[in-house]
Amino acid sequence: MDFFIMLSSVSGVVGTVSQAAYAAAGSFMDAFAEYRINLGLPAVTLDLGMVLDVGYVADNQELRNGLERQGFEGITGEEVTAMVEFAIINPRRIGLSGQTVTGLGSWKAEGSHGSLVHPLFSHFRRMALGSGGSDDDGSGSASKIRDLLRSATTFDEATSKACEAIIGKMSTLLMLVVEDISSAKAMSEYGMDSLVAVEMRNWLFREMDSTVPILELLANNSLLQLSAKIVKRSKLVNPEILKDIQP
């Protein structure tokens, strides 16, 4: 064959909630391209992110908005065509990766896709920090919610701020519009599975200094009720405002 081109997805790089098989298929294509290249054969995978003017994302504005909030950037159908043309003209990638990734955009301290905190993307984060795009050092340093919990003067205020932050994190993890997440509903009602719940639990411990069991995250408690429990356990909250609160 003169060329061998596979259209894959950036999901194989960062993963997608509830679509493990889809992400695994993308990862397989990337690995298969490397295998062929090592044999001296032509191969390339084009790991596409958002395509703005054609396809599923183009027809779903809410999904596009959610991806953009996480820092992802889109390309046009014309750019995809140009990438395919380049891959045809340059079919062999000896000494180079056979994987071309699009759409990752830039990393942000708050709101980026959860996978981008992994060591695999440390260089990606350093690039963003070097460009002045963030004031976070990537190590889980104090965030705005930590300051808000410390400065809260009432239990209700702390609970409200915690709930807002949790909804924002759910929006990032589950790729949902913030306005579609209700504080009166349980986390499990939004498709939060155990794997995503682990990431949420770790985030709560890191950002709110509160330990929450996985089963409690997935229980049938509203987000506001869950937030109240988290605030009661947080080491950031002034103990004085918790004195008269039932344990």
In a domain, 230, yes or no: yes
- Structure-token match 């701020």, residue found: 161
Query: Same domain, yes or no, for 133 and 152?
Result: no
Shared-domain flag, residues 156 and 232: yes
Report if residue 247 sits inside a domain. no
Distances (CA, A) of 70 to 2, 148, 151, 152: 38, 22, 28, 28
102 Ramachandran zone, left/alpha/beta (phi>0; psi -120 to 50): beta
188-195 mean pLDDT: 80
Strand order from edge to edge, sheet including 5-9: 5-9, 44-48, 99-101
235 and 155 within one domain:
yes
Residue among 227, 207, 212, 97 nearest 164 (CA): 227
Between residues 70 and 52, which one has the greater pLDDT?
52
Q: Are residues 148 and 73 in the same domain?
A: no
Query: Are residues 231 and 157 both part of a single domain?
Result: yes
With a cut of 90, say whether residue 159 has pLDDT above it. yes
pLDDT digits (tens, 9 = 90+) for 207-247: 999 998 888 998 889 999 999 999 999 999 998 888 867 65
**Is residue 164 left, alpha or beta, with left meaning phi > 0 and alpha meaning psi from -120 to 50?**
alpha
Task: Round to whole Å and give the CA distance between 159 and 165.
Answer: 10
Decide: 176 and 170 in contact? Cβ < 8 Å: yes
Whether residue 222 lies inside any domain: the answer is yes
The answer to the question of residue 165 being in a domain is: yes
Q: What is the pTM of this model?
A: 0.48
Residue from 164, 133, 169 nearest 148 by CA: 164
Contacts of residues 80-85 at CB distance under 8 Å and 24 or more positions apart, as own/partner, are 80/46, 80/48, 80/51, 83/46, 84/5, 84/46
Shared domain check, 101 and 9: yes
Q: Tell me: do 120 and 54 sit in the same domain.
A: no
pLDDT of residue 103: 80
In this structure, the answer to whether residues 71 and 157 fall within a common structural domain is: no
- Whether 206 is in a domain gets the answer yes
What does the pLDDT look like over 114-157, one tens digit per residue?
667 666 676 666 666 555 444 343 333 335 898 999 999 999 99
Residues 184 and 132 in one domain: no
168 with 237, same domain? Answer: yes
The predicted pLDDT at position 246 comes to 63
Residue matched to tokens 């400065």: 151
Mean pLDDT confidence for 156-182: 88
pLDDT digits (tens, 9 = 90+) for 174-186: 777 788 899 999 9
Closest CA to 70 of 191, 139, 146, 173: 173
pLDDT higher than threshold 90 for residue 162: yes
Q: What is the pLDDT of residue 127?
A: 65
Whole domain around residue 124: which residue ranges?
107-140
Burial class (CB in 10 A: 0-12, 13-18, 19+), 98: buried
Count: domains in the chain: 3
Do both 42 and 95 map to the same domain?
Answer: yes
Same-domain status, 31 and 57: yes
Instruction: Give the CATH number for residue 54.
Output: 3.40.50.720
Q: What is the pLDDT of residues 61-108, one digit of tens each?
A: 887 887 787 778 888 888 889 889 988 988 887 777 888 888 877 766
The answer, yes or no, to whether residue 171 has pLDDT greater than 70, is yes
User: Could you tell me if 136 and 116 are in contact, meaning their C-beta atoms sit under 8 angstroms apart?
Assistant: no
* Rounded-to-integer distance, Cα 177 and Cα 63, Å: 8
For residue 188, give the CATH number of its domain.
1.10.1200.10
| pLDDT for the residue 117 | 67
Helices (H) and strands (E) in the chain, counts: 10, 5
- Please state, as a whole number, how many other Cβ atoms lie within 10 Å of the Cβ of residue 199: 17
